[in-house]
Chains A and B, each alone.
Chain A
Amino acid sequence: MLSSYLTMAAILFCIGLYGALSKRNAVIVLMSVELMLNAVNLNLVAFSKYGVVPSLAGQIFSLFTISVAAAEVAVGVAILIALFRARGAVNVDEFNEMRR
């Protein structure tokens, strides 16, 4: 039972990772990151039910993650809108100021 949940989470994580590393559009990158977080949530919930030592801690952690992710997306989208207003674009590869 556990392995199917984990496989599902791994597939989700890989799709998210692929999106985060390869998409140019910052909005899609942000969504891909959410996908990866949700894969982690799925793992946490699955282990809290079918793990070696089942406990509620996993589910509480996933609730935390969801709320933190919501806050993160709010901040992220705010930054994106600010960037779009300043630069007129949301392409990730155009923002390489960190090199300097």
Chain B
Amino acid sequence: MATVYSQYAWLVPVFPLAAFLILTAFGRGMKQAGAIVAALGSFGALALSALVLIEHLGGADEYNDSFNWIEIGGYALTAGFDVTNLTALMMVVVSLVAFLVNVYSIGYMKDDERITVFFGYVALFTFSMLGLVLADNLLTLYIFWELVGVCSFLLIGFWYQKPEAKAAAKKAFIVTRIGDVGLLIALLLLFWYMPDHDLSFAAIENVFGQTGLITEGITTLIAILIFVGAVGKSGQFPLHVWLPDAMEGPTPISALIHAATMVAAGVFLVARTFPIFEASQAALDTVAWVGAFTAIFAASIALAQNDIKRILAYSTVSQLGYMMMAIGLGSVTAGMFHLFTHAFFKALLFLGAGSVIHAVHTQNIHEMGGLGRTMKTTAWTFAVGALALAGIPPLSGFWSKDAILAEALHANPALFVVGIAAALLTAFYMSRLFFLVFAGNPKSGGEAHESPASMTAPLVVLAVLAVVSGFVEMPFGGTGWLGEWLTGHAAEHEGTALVMLISTAVGLLGIYLGWLIYVKGAISRDVVTSRAPWLTRLLERKYYLDEIYHAVFTVSLRAIGRAFDAFDRHVVGGAVRLAGGAAVWTGRAATRMQSGQLQSYGLYVVIGLVILVAAIAGRRFW
């Protein structure tokens, strides 16, 4: 089928870029108008990407266009864009969430002085993220990859007057950098080994699709290094530590960048370079196990956190682990499906949390309570998001989690058990969060009010999406529509009835437990704390990972830094000071010689003459 809109897909990131430029150039003069500009920019992107998606739903061909960016001798570095079904879908997800977050921020950030700066950063982020999605080769992707990292840094540290926000921004930037180095090395290796140094995704698929072109060791190495980049960006263990701290940023940012889009970029990257992973079983296993471990590890930490945003952050880390596990099990479809549904319900949960924080001005869930009565819209949309996350049918999270679990049961039962355990924890911590915040009696003195319409409208839209977005891939009748559309062949769903039964039962069990403890009080809240205080403490302190990292890496790196500093200060600096000092001392001695005493001058001349004569005479005997 002919492509009408796809050839203009490059315009999609241009809308938010234009908004960013306008906001940066004329930001000072506009207060409330700045929000409108940013919203229009993301709406333009949304409209065009929706047209592209509709075209691809109708069966349009893949479209690729690129230009020679830099020519070096016979080699040309290209930059271009790729419109496939995968990128079309991602584009809509990104621009839709960006648009909704923009609308939401109009209400949420109303009283902030630097509101235009905020919207400028959001527009820049939207541009970078869309560019990352559209990029047709790894180098272009890498550029946008770093750009979203910068935007993330800027927005986490948006309230830079808060020292915690400053520290969190730096931590996010430095920790993701560790992963980025891995990606960069992978890029260099690929550049070295690929025929014609071609880094485009099409070429990668061609080369790694056939065996023997690149040795298995190198393939595994490249795949693992790419995965290291994804681990940094997507907050997988052991580089997940930055993501919970990133919650110091404004809540809409947590929803947009640190829940729905940027952190999913790692999953997207692995999906995009999947042919490399497919060529190496070792790499696939690594991805699957790291993902599964992250899923249960982060879910267990979320059990004991008291900050509403941190619970959601650990939940994000855990869900990203699910996606990685799915891709590691060889099912890009299941991973991308979960990414797709997760983007909606997690953005919904974060925006709901933002609405709650906006109303009660605290983030501690023990200081909240009874908000369900006063904040009706927020409460029921939040409930929808929480149920979707807990995997209760027929909400979207159920279908996507089910796809992953079915894949796990089929490929690796051990991972299936881990996934089910993580699902139980997920359901439990979400019900704990929900009941503590929205049920019971109000704890704070002031009456909490519902947020303005600009904040609740995005919640409603996202809630609807969180309900329906799961229906694109139904495991009934072997249709697997999304899978067929994304990858060209339908995913197999074996034993899904069993999986559905188990996962639903587990989800309901988790919610029931939460209800028993936090609403009915049938089980004491201190049941674990009183018997095993060390366990609560371990979870509360996030397995002491921050402390361990501090002791192992920060301290040792600082010691190395001190050693280098001392070397620089004393050895290098000492040499420089010696050279300078010698000149100064010579000068001082010369000044003392100029005494005004003519007879001394005469004596110097004579001594000079004697030395000269001695030197000339001495040369004969040399």
Chain A positions within 8 Å of B, measured between CB atoms, are: 17, 20-22, 29, 92-93, 95-100
11 A-B residue pairs with Cβ-Cβ distance under 8 Å, sorted by A, are A17-B606, A20-B599, A20-B602, A21-B606, A22-B599, A92-B599, A96-B595, A97-B596, A98-B598, A99-B594, A99-B596
- From B594, B595, B596, B603, A21 is in contact (CB under 8 Å) with B603
List, in ascending order, chain B residues with CB within 8 A of A93's CB. 597, 599
Report whether over half of chain A's contact residues are helix, strand or loop; otherwise say mixed.
helix
Report chain B residues within 8 Å CB of A97: 596
Q: B residues 212-234 with Cβ under 8 Å of A?
A: none
Tell whether, in the assembled complex, residue A21 and residue B599 are in contact, meaning their CB atoms are under 8 Å apart.
Answer: yes
Q: In the complex, A98→B596 CA distance in Å? A: 5
CA distance A93 to B599 in the complex (A): 8
Beyond the given A21-B599, A92-B597, A100-B596, could you list 7 further A-B residue pairs with CB under 8 A, ordered by the A residue number? Answer: A21-B602, A21-B606, A22-B599, A92-B598, A93-B599, A96-B597, A99-B594
CB distance from A19 to the nearest CB of B (A): 11
A21 CB contacts on chain B under 8 angstroms: 599, 602-603, 606
- The CA-CA distance from A21 to B606 in the complex, in Å, is 10
* Chain A residue at minimum C-beta to C-beta distance from B599: A21
Contacts of A22 in B (CB 8 A): 599
Q: How far is the CA of A20 from the CA of B606 in the complex (A)?
A: 12
**Closest chain B CB from A37 CB (angstroms):** 15
How far apart are the CA atoms of A20 and B598 in the complex, in Å?
10
Within the complex, what minimum Cβ distance (angstroms) separates A50 from chain B?
Answer: 24
Among A17, A20, A21, A99, residue most surrounded by chain B Cβ atoms (within 10 Å): A21
**Chain B neighbourhood of A100, CB < 8 A:** 596
Rounded to whole Å, the gap between the CB of B592 and the closest CB of chain A is: 11
* Residue in chain A with minimal CB distance to B603: A21
Q: What 6 pairs across the A-B complex have the smallest Cβ distances? A: A99-B596, A96-B596, A98-B596, A21-B599, A21-B602, A21-B603
Q: Which residues of A contact B595 (CB under 8 A)?
A: 96, 99
Residues facing A in B590-617 (CB within 8 A) are 594-599, 602-603, 606
CA distance A92 to B600 in the complex (A): 11
The CB with the most chain A CB atoms within 10 A, among B595, B599, B603, B606, is that of B599
Distance to closest chain B CB from A3 (angstroms): 18
Smallest distance from the beta carbon of B427 to chain A beta carbons, Å? Answer: 94
